[in-house]
Amino acid sequence: MKFSLWIAAAALVLLGLLGSMFVVAPGETGMVLNLGRVARTDLGPGLHFKVPLVETARVFDRRLTVLDAEPERYLTSERKDVAVDFFAVGMIEDVRAFYRATGGSEEIAVARLAPIIKDSLRNEINERTLQEVVSGDRSEIIERQLAGINRGADTVGVKIVDLRIKRIDLPTDSQVIQDVYRRMRAQRQQVASRLRAEGAEAAQTIRAQADREQVVIVAEAERDAQLLRGEGDAVAARTYAQAANKDPAFYAFQRSLEAYRESFDDGQSVIVLDRDDAFLQYLTDDD
């Protein structure tokens, strides 16, 4: 009987010891609650003790954590719609404040921090044009608002060490998209018109150059033809002269035949001459 009591007592002591110890791993921080009230905080890595049944331990991750949120729509200074998708990188800085504000729930912390970040970004984007928001330096937007965001995050016991804008979109149901498309079409039409004008100018230049070259080629060909005709006429004249010198009578007869052929070529010509005219000397019968 005594042995059983000793075993029970040892078991109770062992359970008490196990219930009074807890471990905080590297990168974590511990907190002890005494009947629901915060008793000790910022317990570093290692083995720690608490009063069983009276105190409870909570352990939180103090490493950097990405806090993601749904994209938010904002208005620029021109009253144009943009959708901004962002994420924040934060860590628990004040465990006591974090527990009191969220009960130790990361989901509640994200829900509390998201409006703070969104409102801060809204103030910054509302002061900028669409061009500055889309094409500007995004790090400048973040740097100007990070201090204000952390002032709001202090109430949650969290410190935001970085904030990144992943994407800035134009909502599909926004008038901005239609304006952008119209502007893009106008720019493309302007480029097309300029290219067509340049093409027409180039074509006109090519045609004018071709016309000039044609005139030059025709003129040169005509000049060469005149030279060839002149040379041919000169050769013909020399040939006729040589023929005339060799046999004047035959030359005269040949020339007369050519004159007859040209005069009566169409077969309908009528020439009225005196019968003794020299033109008819080779057509008369002098037998």
Q: For the chain, how many structural domains are there in total?
A: 4
Q: Residue 69: which region, alpha, beta or left (left: phi > 0; alpha: psi -120 to 50)?
A: beta
- For position 84, what pLDDT does the model report? 83
φ, ψ for residue 245, nearest 5 deg: -70, -35
In a domain, 185, yes or no: no
In a domain, 15, yes or no: yes
Distance CA 256, CA 19 (A): 150
User: Do residue 143 and residue 198 come from a single domain?
Assistant: no
In a domain, 227, yes or no: yes
User: Do residue 160 and residue 97 come from a single domain?
Assistant: yes
User: Do residue 51 and residue 101 come from a single domain?
Assistant: no
- Where a domain ends, among 61, 78, 106? 61
User: Do residue 74 and residue 165 come from a single domain?
Assistant: yes
Distance CA 197, CA 21 (A): 86
In a domain, 95, yes or no: yes
- pLDDT surpassing 80 at residue 7: no
What is the average pLDDT score of the chain?
77
Q: Which amino acid makes up residue 18?
A: L
User: Do residue 252 and residue 236 come from a single domain?
Assistant: no
Q: Which amino acid makes up residue 98?
A: F
**28 or 253, which is more confident?**
28
Q: Which two tokens stand for residue 52?
A: 């069983």
CATH classification of the domain holding 155 = 3.30.479.30
Q: Which letter, b or e, does each residue of 42-52 get, where b requires 16 or more Cβ atoms within 10 Å of its Cβ?
A: ebeeeebebee
> How many C-beta atoms lie closer than 10 Å to residue 32's C-beta?
20
Distance CA 55, CA 256 (A): 149
| Cβ proximity of 158 and 109 under 8 Å | yes
pLDDT in tens, 43-54: 888 888 887 777
Q: Which two tokens stand for residue 117?
A: 């970040």
pLDDT in tens, 158-168: 888 888 888 87
- Answer whether 0.75 is exceeded by the pTM: no
**Containing domain of residue 90, as a range?**
65-171
| Cβ proximity of 46 and 24 under 8 Å | yes
pLDDT in tens, 53-94: 777 888 888 887 888 777 888 888 877 778 888 888 888 888
